[in-house]
Amino acid sequence: MMQVGDRIGPYRVTRSLGQGGTGRTCEGLHELLGEKACLKEALPTTPRELLLREARILWGLHHPFLPTLRDVVEEPREKTLVIAMRFVEGTSLDALGKLTPEEAFPIFGRMIRALRVLHHRGIVHGDVKPANVIVEPDRHGAVLVDLGMAAVRPGYHTRPVGWTTKFAAPETLDGKPPLPESDLYSLGLSLVHVLGGDLEKRELPRAPEELIDWIVALTRKDPARRPRWETDDPMASFDRIARRVAGEAAYYTES
């Protein structure tokens, strides 16, 4: 496993960042360019192919609210496979604590745009949760990270790779094929969590009624009854709510 001070290709490992369901991440420095990168390697229990699949997904993604792939490097002695991504300077949404709707709207506006890009490319993220969102205060941005559990064009026989139980949709917990609506369910629960609500009851303390209705629609047990991009466009309805509650000047997403 990577250690501080190790050299992986052109990168020197400078700091451990954390560990997720499929991999461990570190801050690295590109020694020629002097630029930071986020380095991710698979856990010993994670098949190498999962990290390669994540790299292939990221290869074709170019969006400010999603990770950007910089490199794929193999350390020749131990055959350690590492993917290098743009380093996102910020804090996880989970670490920010409880937010007001006005504070949460721009962040979730960016998250739903990230999901729209993924879903229109046939990719289901599979693990949408506050811990997988990095908020960039200096750039007024938010990046939906960790596609290690993503599914590409899932079909009838596709099964979820993994999930975080308290944010997972019922069909995911049942081991059924991942759906775009499964990500939207997790997005709704993430908003409940960030606003200080009750995840089990999907209740919010003193929130605008139209926002509560939007969350209730996203978190219906039956995925066929949740909003879809092709029909209801959950992003458009969220934007309308955010602009009405926060005002045009306070709500912007840049993309």
Residue 142 predicted with pLDDT over 70: yes
Count of domains forming the chain: 2
Residue 99 predicted with pLDDT over 80: yes
Residue 229 binned pLDDT confidence (cut-offs 50, 70, 90): very high
CA dist 70 and 146 (Å) reads 15
pLDDT value at position 85? 97
Residue 211 predicted with pLDDT over 90: yes
CA dist 212 and 48 (Å) reads 41
Reading across the β-sheet that carries 35-42, which strands appear in turn? 7-8, 11-19, 23-30, 35-42, 80-86, 69-75
Residue 206 predicted with pLDDT over 90: no
Residue 245 predicted with pLDDT over 70: yes
Task: Work out the end-to-end distance of the chain between its first and last CA atoms, rounded to an integer number of angstroms.
Answer: 37
- Asked if residue 144 and residue 55 are part of one domain, the reply reads no
Residue 57 binned pLDDT confidence (cut-offs 50, 70, 90): very high
pLDDT value at position 14? 97
pLDDT value at position 249? 59
- Asked if residue 214 and residue 119 are part of one domain, the reply reads yes
DSSP-derived 3-state class of residue 214: helix
- Asked if residue 97 and residue 219 are part of one domain, the reply reads yes
CA dist 74 and 41 (Å) reads 10
pLDDT value at position 250? 66
Task: Say if 253 falls within a structural domain.
Answer: no
User: Could you list the residue range(s) of the whole structural domain that residue 237 is in?
Assistant: 91-246
pLDDT value at position 106? 93
Specify which of 47-51, 229-233, 248-252 reaches the highest per-range mean pLDDT. 229-233
- Asked if residue 33 and residue 148 are part of one domain, the reply reads no
- Asked if residue 219 and residue 126 are part of one domain, the reply reads yes
CA dist 78 and 63 (Å) reads 33
Strand segments (E) across 147-203: 151-152
- Asked if residue 82 and residue 107 are part of one domain, the reply reads no
How confident is the model over 206-217, as a mean pLDDT? 91
Residue for token digits 């934007």?
Answer: 239
CA dist 29 and 164 (Å) reads 31
The chain-wide mean pLDDT, for the chain, equals: 91
Residue 86 predicted with pLDDT over 70: yes
For 176, which DSSP code?
P
- Asked if residue 183 and residue 134 are part of one domain, the reply reads yes
CA dist 67 and 200 (Å) reads 30
CA dist 148 and 169 (Å) reads 18
Angle subtended by helix axes 209-218 and 180-194, to nearest 10? 140
What CATH number is associated with residue 194? 1.10.510.10
